[in-house]
């Protein structure tokens, strides 16, 4: 795999075997998106494998590319949470190309899981929902909005960890602006307010989470119409559905997909609704025994056996 990247005024050849910043030896291309490409790499100083994100913004000059890479790295590095991808460093090649050095995750994205096997079991969707609600709370506590929650940015690690990745268009609450060229992100998972060109906030991430959970449960986006314009119209005007597989998660997903930001539940409210057995309202403590954190079977049995009068704890790994 060879990639030509125009980042500093002249094309740079990027291919396996290339040494980045005098330290990171590129391996296979792991993935690509609108904001860049992610490579497997070997850190030849510490002798460990890492992931290198090559930031690529078509049509922008190198200073803007560097600023974008720095913004993404700083945003992700601020989130001290197991559910956020860990940033090790930000480096530059001699040609000025910025690279974000990240932890290497083992597993696959939620999008890949859905492509391979269709809708996930509702217990697994619930586990993913609780993990993502937790990390989004951490993001919002730092005064940030992720703005790109979607299945391809949710990584399902082999050991059960769920990780939110790609902070490439994250911004500070109250400081989100439209990027050059208009909207950034995936129309099918974009909030109605951003589709209308309005300000993003934490509730916008929760809408995107609702669309992501719908996809996990039903195997498809709730609003995709095949082209960006029609999809954006559906995001703003249409109801999601039909629901077929969501079962007990339907109320929380529908709540997260409310068109008005003020009508959506908070992360705490959504978490409580997700774990309340048979629709009963129960108190959700802030932690539970870590021994259960990665055991979906134990979580299922625990939720089913919890009496209405006892507290049910959330998945707070």
Q: How far is CA 26 from CA 21, 50, 66, in A?
A: 11, 10, 20
How does strand 98-102 pair with strand 171-172?
A: unpaired
- Judge whether 53 is annotated as a binding position: yes
Strand partners, 171: 145
Residues 13-21: contacts with CB under 8 Å, at least 24 apart: 14/39, 14/54, 19/44, 20/52, 20/91, 20/93, 20/99, 21/91, 21/92, 21/93, 21/99
> Could you tell me the end-to-end alpha-carbon distance of the chain, in angstroms, rounded to an integer?
37
Catalytic residues, by residue number, are 148
**Measured on CA atoms in the order 95, 100, 105, 110, is the torsion positive or negative?**
negative
Q: Note whether 33 and 152 are within 8 A (CB).
A: yes
Phi-psi group of 147: left, alpha or beta (phi > 0 → left; psi -120 to 50 → alpha; rest → beta): left
Pick out the residues of the known binding site for ATP: 53
Pick out the residues of the known binding site: 53
């Amino acid at each position: 795999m060879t990639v030509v990247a125009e980042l500093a005024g002249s094309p740079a050849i990027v291919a396996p075997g290339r040494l980045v910043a005098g330290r990171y030896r590129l391996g296979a291309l792991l993935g690509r998106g609108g904001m860049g490409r992610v490579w497997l790499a070997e850190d030849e100083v510490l002798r460990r494998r890492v992931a290198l994100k090559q930031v690529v913004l078509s049509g922008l000059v190198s200073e803007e590319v560097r600023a974008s890479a720095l913004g993404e790295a700083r945003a992700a590095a601020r989130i001290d949470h197991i559910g956020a991808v860990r940033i090790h460093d930000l480096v530059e090649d001699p040609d000025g190309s910025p690279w974000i050095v990240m932890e290497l995750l083992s597993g696959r994205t939620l999008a890949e899981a859905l492509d391979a096997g269709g809708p996930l079991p509702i217990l697994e969707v619930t586990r993913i929902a609780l993990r993502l609600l937790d990390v989004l709370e951490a993001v919002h506590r730092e005064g940030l909005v992720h703005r790109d929650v979607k299945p391809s940015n949710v990584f399902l690690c082999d050991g059960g960890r769920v990780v939110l990745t790609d902070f490439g268009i994250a911004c500070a609450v109250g400081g989100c602006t439209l990027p050059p060229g208009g909207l950034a992100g995936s129309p099918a998972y974009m909030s109605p307010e951003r589709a209308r060109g309005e300000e993003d906030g934490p509730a916008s991430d929760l809408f995107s989470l609702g669309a992501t959970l719908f996809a996990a449960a039903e195997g498809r986006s709730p609003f995709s119409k095949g082209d960006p314009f029609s999809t954006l119209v559906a995001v703003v005007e249409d109801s999601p559905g039909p629901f077929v597989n969501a079962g007990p998660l339907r109320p929380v997903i529908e709540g997260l997909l409310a068109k008005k930001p003020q009508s959506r539940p908070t992360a705490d409210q959504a978490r409580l609704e997700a774990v309340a057995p048979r629709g009963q309202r129960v108190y959700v403590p802030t932690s539970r025994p870590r021994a259960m954190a990665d055991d979906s079977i134990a979580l299922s049995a625990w939720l089913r056996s919890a009496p209405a009068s006892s507290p049910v704890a959330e998945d707070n790994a």
